[in-house]
Structure 1
Amino acid sequence: MMKIDAIARRILGWKLNRWDRWYDYEQGKFIHESEFQPEQNIDHAMLIVDRLEGLGFTYEIKGLSKVCFNDFCATGESLAQAITNAAYEIVEQNSVMDRTRLWQKLC
């Protein structure tokens, strides 16, 4: 769940409303964790693709279960899982950069 939560909050911009749901301010609705399963549901994974493309990333399929967003590539057992894994790579890389900037400000 940590991976999905990070994607929902950092990429899709949803706010954590309760331990088991987010709030999408753009749509004005609550999304329960059971309603957003991008690793199993390609339609949910495509929400991530649409958002990342809107942020300037280029989506590229490289085989049945490998995708790239610019230089961030990942594989999975399915296309949906590969999309989710690649999106999480973006979140993880940006988290590392954010921490580095924080330490630069503190030191």
Structure 2
Amino acid sequence: MNRTEIIARRILGWKLNSWDRWYDFEMDAFIPVSDFEPEHNLDHAMVIVERLKKLGFTYKTNGVSEVCFNDVCETGETLTEAITNAAFTIADNSSVPDEWL
């Protein structure tokens, strides 16, 4: 799995419906895999921010290259990369309890 897949599955709760699209149960919608690029698209990155806020995380930025969700802080060349890096750290370290997903 790549970073975006890990975030989609573990944080957003999306399921891979077929090799080329996600299914979002909350929105009852299909999302083409190629249409979700949080590292490059601020609107996509903000979907992650909003989900983490719903899960109880506090979102804070320090300029355009550092993002913190509670005590998990990461950097990136852009704000979208910083958001994605922080979300990946949370998802990859299993910091989001399974009962939240």
* TM-score normalized by the length of structure 2: 0.89
Provide the residue aligned with 2:20 in structure 1.
20
| Greater RCO (CA < 8 Å, at least 6 residues apart) | 2
Rg bigger for which structure? Answer: 1
Displacement of 1:92 after TM fit? Answer: 1.4
* SS at structure 2 position matched to 1:73: strand
Provide the residue aligned with 1:103 in structure 2.
none
Displacement of 1:21 after TM fit? Answer: 1.4
Provide the residue aligned with 1:70 in structure 2.
70
* SS at structure 2 position matched to 1:37: coil
How many residue pairs were aligned? 97
Residues 46-80 of structure 1: per-residue CA shift (max 9 Å, x gap)? 00000000000000001221000011111111101
Provide the residue aligned with 1:87 in structure 2.
87
Counterpart Cα distance in 1 of 2:87 and 2:66: 12
Counterpart Cα distance in 1 of 2:53 and 2:89: 15
The structure that is helix-richer by fraction is 1
Displacement of 1:20 after TM fit? Answer: 2.1
Counterpart Cα distance in 2 of 1:20 and 1:71: 34
Provide the residue aligned with 1:38 in structure 2.
38
Provide the residue aligned with 2:50 in structure 1.
50
Query: Can you give the 5+ residue segments of structure 1 that lack an aligned partner in the other structure?
Result: 99-107
* SS at structure 2 position matched to 1:94: coil
Query: Can you give the 5+ residue segments of structure 2 that lack an aligned partner in the other structure?
Result: none
Counterpart Cα distance in 2 of 1:56 and 1:86: 15
**RMSD over aligned Cα atoms:** 1.7
